[in-house]
Amino acid sequence: MDTVYITEYDYPSLEIEQEAFRAAHIPLIPTQSHSEDEIIRNCKDAAGLIVQYAQITEKIMANLPNLKVISRYGVGVDNIDLEAATKHHICVTNVPDYSIDEVSTQALALVLDCWRRVTFLHNSIHQGHWDYALAQPIWRLRGHKLGLVGFGKIAREVAVKAQAFGLTVLSYDPYVQPEAMRAMGVLYQPFHQLLRECDIISLHTPLTKETFHCIGTDELELMKSSAILINTARGPLVDEQALQKALDKNEIAGAGLDVLETEPISPDNPFLSMNNVVLTPHVAWYSEEANKEMKTKASMGIIEVFKGRIPTYLVNKDVLPYVSLR
């Protein structure tokens, strides 16, 4: 019988997944296998894998001869070798639409926190101060410009919410026609012009070879000294050393980061001692509703393949000529 393994997870409960596979009469075996060798050893007869953070390499695929489908908890699939998956005739699925509201809200929460210096003032009160002047200057938000790097589903929801605060929204996305942006009241701008012009830059692009460190020294130098950077997408989009230097030198005013290059954050990370950085622990995706939706859809991606159906959220569509799915 085909068996599904969870490579690793940090959720307190797997009840949702267990119920989905129980109803489909498919065995589900959770593990905490993080490395290549652990996954190969502990999941050797897997026909399906559910993956959270583990890197799923070609070596793993080559050593799991029964593997038909890999399902990622969440949106990004940068931890799965898609080219190798297609080569080995393995479907890769994700859950691209479970936390649009949550991530867009978190991005705006970080914008508001950084702009109004909420966390900074909260901490100053705990340090014995009661003085708004410590946060000066704070400018009126309405009328300023928000630049969205990427214009997918989450960024579009950010645009709608930001416009309600009176922000002018601009965006750069090489894969989206400017007309689609204009239809939502968003102005297209080339990437470097977006960085120069906007008061807030918010990142909403997947992590690829092209977008790795897309915010580095050169890009930060283009930004206004009063600008803030928001990242709720992927940590490695930002060169953290370059960002730390830019913040130290007041080349930009602040940053709101839900994701980092290395997670969890290391105790010696300089961001921890910076009062112009707001940090949250990769929580943007989370609500109780989003958690349930993600787990259900991640499970269904595998169940669909086992039932001979093309999965709803197939990522590597190039695999279709090589698999018998309808």
**3-state secondary structure at position 80:** strand
Set 34, 196, 282, 293: catalytic member: 282
**Closest Cα to residue 46, out of 22, 32, 27?**
27
Set 88, 144, 234, 240: catalytic member: 234
- Cis status of the peptide bond prior to 264, with omega within 30 of 0: yes
Side-chain-side CA neighbours of 104 within 13 Å: the count stands at 20
234 is catalytic: yes
C-alpha 112/C-alpha 294 separation (Å) is 27
User: CA-CA distances (angstroms) from residue 216 to 139, 239, 244, 252, 276?
Assistant: 26, 5, 10, 12, 18
> 175, 201 in Cβ contact below 8 A?
no
C-alpha 150/C-alpha 279 separation (Å) is 22
Task: Round to the nearest angstrom and report the end-to-end CA distance of the chain.
Answer: 21
C-alpha 257/C-alpha 150 separation (Å) is 17
263 is catalytic: yes
Set 15, 83, 221, 263: catalytic member: 263
* Sign of the CA dihedral with 5 first, then 7, 13, and 17 last: negative
> 60, 16 in Cβ contact below 8 A?
no
C-alpha 103/C-alpha 114 separation (Å) is 16
Angle (nearest 5°) at CA 308 between 306 and 310: 105
Q: Please list the active-site residues.
A: 234, 263, 282
